[in-house]
Amino acid sequence: MAGVTWDGFERYRQRGLDARRAGQWDSARIYLLEAARAMLELSKEAQGEELRQGRRQMSAKLLDLARDCQNAGKDNRQPRSADVPSRRQTSAEAEGSSSADQWVVKEKPFIRFADVAGLDEVKEDIRLKMIYPFAHPDLAERFGIRSGGGVLLYGPPGTGKTMMAKATAGEIDATFFRISPADILSKWVGEAEQNVKKLFDAACSEKRAIIFIDEIEALVPARRDDGSSVMQRVVPQILQGMEGFDKKAAHPLLFMGATNVPWQLDPAVLRPGRFDDKVYIPLPDKTARRKMLDIYLGKRPVAVDVDMERLAEGLDGFSGADIQYICDRAATIPFLESVASGAEGRIDMKMLEEVVATAPRTVTPEMLRRYEEWGRRAQ
């Protein structure tokens, strides 16, 4: 499987889990099989036997889920409560015997900072604010450095905010709770504010945990519809949980949110005791772009005339997602030629330059200026 990336694995895994919850067994099986194969390929690139073994175990678990989906399809099984909780589930039932395990997907990421291209300053910032206090709790206590708390990752789309959050969890061996606003607000899983409470309670029960919510502005918007009773209940519950969950837990926890539009957040979420730290995830620099090219082109047939350094230089202003698209798009040209001729072609410099010349940048200079201005005001 050429060109396997963490982003690609995550897309297959998440789509497989979503389809499984919805009872779409055939689609779930296909996506989970692809995720298992991708993880097996990633295990071959891991440095250290422990990391390789962990990734193989993850691949095996995904294969088991795929087999279960195949059996479920044959049996015409209806989605279980653990996959898609019943619409008839009452608030009392949700508060009683049920738990966040019914709808929260948690994992132990095997990704590390070394797997994330570039962003060295961001990594060091996260080490100082989060990883070092976790790794040296006695020293942190002596110097009055608090472990845990809230961290907001903000910046342009496609720059790796989710990947950075998972790598942080991997660095400190924390259980990773990845939640989308739809998971919390969905009526399929009961009352939204009870979902928030169950999420924080589940995280507090772990030795080390990170709650990560992508597109968090959907949960705590700056301007919310006053007629929405759900949002009127959910926003205070989230703010209360953020302010107190690390204090009541037996172990320090991290709450990480990611957003492409930080100016759409409710200002209340940025107050002390909530998102104390705001970390900007910028567009990749040249070093990061060069590493991305190695990742996305490294296992593909590339012609000898491809100058990776020159190509990386010319990709200034493109996001990581843009660069992956460029590499994927360039690969389709020799692939189709190989199919037509029967002889394997190669990706050459001309093909890459032509794709770069026509590929749109998803991030504009105006967007970058707005992030810079917001960052100055928010710090």
Per-residue tens of pLDDT for the chain, all 379 residues: 445 677 778 778 888 887 787 778 877 887 888 888 888 888 887 777 767 777 788 888 888 888 888 888 776 766 543 343 333 333 333 333 344 555 566 788 888 898 888 888 888 888 887 788 877 878 888 888 776 678 899 999 888 898 899 999 898 888 888 877 766 665 444 466 677 777 777 887 788 888 898 888 877 777 555 445 555 666 676 776 666 555 555 566 788 899 999 998 888 888 777 787 889 999 999 999 999 999 899 889 999 999 999 999 999 999 998 999 999 999 998 988 888 888 888 999 999 999 999 998 889 999 999 999 998 887 7
In three-state secondary structure terms, 62 is helix
Distances in Å between the Cα of 35 and the Cα atoms of 10, 70, 102, 159, 255 are 7, 15, 22, 22, 27
Task: State the DSSP H helix or E strand holding residue 154, giving kind and residue range, or none if neither.
Answer: strand 149-154
Helices 6-21 and 161-171, packing angle to 10 deg: 90
Cα distance between residue 349 and residue 366, in whole Å: 30
CB-based contacts of 211, cutoff 8 Å, min separation 6: 177, 179, 199, 200, 203, 253, 254, 255, 256
Q: Could you tell me the sign of the dihedral formed by the alpha carbons of 268, 271, 275, 281, in that order? A: positive
Cα distance between residue 163 and residue 116, in whole Å: 7
Please answer whether residues 315 and 18 qualify as being in contact, where contact means their C-beta atoms are separated by less than 8 angstroms: no
Domains of the chain, with CATH numbers? 1-79 (1.20.58), 95-283 (3.40.50.300), 286-362 (1.10.8.60)
Looking at residue 54, the DSSP 8-state letter turns out to be H
Phi-psi region of 23 (alpha: psi -120 to 50; beta: other; left: phi over 0): left
Instruction: Locate 241 and state its tokens.
Output: 């949980």
CB-based contacts of 87, cutoff 8 Å, min separation 6: 187, 188
Cα distance between residue 265 and residue 123, in whole Å: 24
Q: Could you tell me the sign of the dihedral formed by the alpha carbons of 316, 317, 320, 326, in that order? A: negative
Which phi and psi angles does 227 have, rounded to 5°? -85, -5
Please answer whether residues 323 and 292 qualify as being in contact, where contact means their C-beta atoms are separated by less than 8 angstroms: yes
